[in-house]
Amino acid sequence: MDKIYYSDIKETLYHEKMKNGLEVFLMPKDNFNKTYGLFTTDFGSIDRSFIPLGKENMITVPDGVAHFLEHKMFDLKNGDASEEFAKLGASSNAYTSNVRTSYLFSTTQNENECTELLLDFVQELNVTEESVEKEKGIIIQEIGMYDDNPDWQSYFGAIKNLYHQHPVKIDIAGTADTVRKIDKTILYDCYRTFYQPSNMVLFIAGHIQPDKLMDIIRDNQDKKSFVSMPLVTRGDYQEDKSVFCRREVKYMDVSASKVSIALKINDIPSNIQDRLNRELAFTILLDMLFSKSSDIREEWTLRELINDSFDVTFIQERDYSLFFMSSDTEKTNELEEVFHQFIKNMKDYSADPVIFERMKKKNIGMIIQAFNSPETIASLFSRYYFEGINAFDLISLINNLDIKEIRKISNLFDDDLTSTFLIIPEGKNID
């Protein structure tokens, strides 16, 4: 077992790669009562096409299968994993993103037993055709709830219209039609392929004894047998650089209009360091432009174009990247015009070195603060792990970030690569 001390954050990380390929990371927090465990697989909603383990030909599975599998993982041979965690005094949950699926527990007691339970229930799939059919109704009902959520419709609508082929345009849960196509065989194909130890990472943080817990994890894994796992071969989506749909209006039963705009960012760097520099630069840039004290945000607020619902984010994942901004507004046409003008003006943006350094310090402070939250650091670590990055190195990486990176990304703002999505109250005319 490796033991690594990070002096800048005064944290120690324990690491061991199991014989089966599973990488385990433990971060003890002696002054914490809570322990948080996160078990993550590199499998998300965009992984529709792949070569199943032990087979030669690529298959395409229905949209929403990763999310569906997440639901069914909690089925035990005789019971439910959530109930077993509750018996240990712990809470449990799971979530699926476009590129990952994670299973978690949070507890103030029985952390060793909870870790074993987390490993055991995720490393064994127990489904029947009957349970699969029953789950379809539950998930279809969940999809219906998102259909009525204006924030989700606004966010997803703008992103959906950016892409021609890439499956990020498909809702994580799929649609009612695609969910109905999922069966037991499909779930097992996905499970055997993506839930191999070498395609997963386990991160435990909190009130733990790392030497003892690592022994427990090692013994647990040694008792199990796994097929030798090659790298997963995933489908390659031939995505056009252009935008699929430039503008869409959706009428909903809402009290206020919402304007959203998404910007498609092509040519994602293949080099890990270049990818990270771009992501960190975007994070700093968005703070420079849109922090509560920024000139742009103050101006837009004073003009009553935006309110507290205003949201701006940058997303960069395995093979797609985008910028998104949105707000509720009573001035739909004016805000739409302002959003587009902002993107057009970004090519001429000149970053202030003083503000740049200040925002670097702010983000370093936020990362240091994150280490006081087992949930936050576990999520952050697992997210970067599959990018080939150690989240414990983020502070030094931000420190070394040069303002030239801001100038590079300002050239990525191209209004021809935007998609605008408007949500309008039913019966209201926006023209």
Q: What is the pLDDT of residues 174-215, one digit of tens each?
A: 999 999 999 999 999 999 999 999 999 999 999 999 999 999
> Which stretches of the chain drop beneath a pLDDT of 70?
430-431
Show the tokens assigned to 182.
């999922």
Q: pLDDT at position 119, please?
A: 98
In 3-state terms, what secondary structure has residue 132?
helix
Sheet holding 247-252, edge to edge: 247-252, 418-425, 257-264, 321-329, 311-316
Q: Which residues are catalytic?
A: 70
Q: pLDDT at position 99, please?
A: 96
Measuring CA to CA, how many Å separate 299 from each of 188, 262, 289, 357? 54, 21, 12, 23
Topology of 247-425 in CATH? Cytochrome Bc1 Complex; Chain A, domain 1 (3.30.830)
Q: Is the dihedral of CA 353, 359, 360, 361 positive or negative?
A: positive
Is there a contact between 73 and 122 (Cβ–Cβ < 8 Å)? yes
Q: pLDDT at position 231, please?
A: 84
Q: pLDDT at position 21, please?
A: 93
CA 208-212-216 angle, 5° bins:
105
Architecture of domain 2-223: 2-Layer Sandwich (3.30)
The CB density around residue 287, as the number of other CB atoms within 10 Å, is 19
Q: pLDDT at position 430, please?
A: 67
Domain with CATH 3.30.830.10 in the chain: 2-223, 247-425
Q: pLDDT at position 69, please?
A: 97
Q: pLDDT at position 54, please?
A: 84
Q: Give the global pTM.
A: 0.93
Q: pLDDT at position 431, please?
A: 56
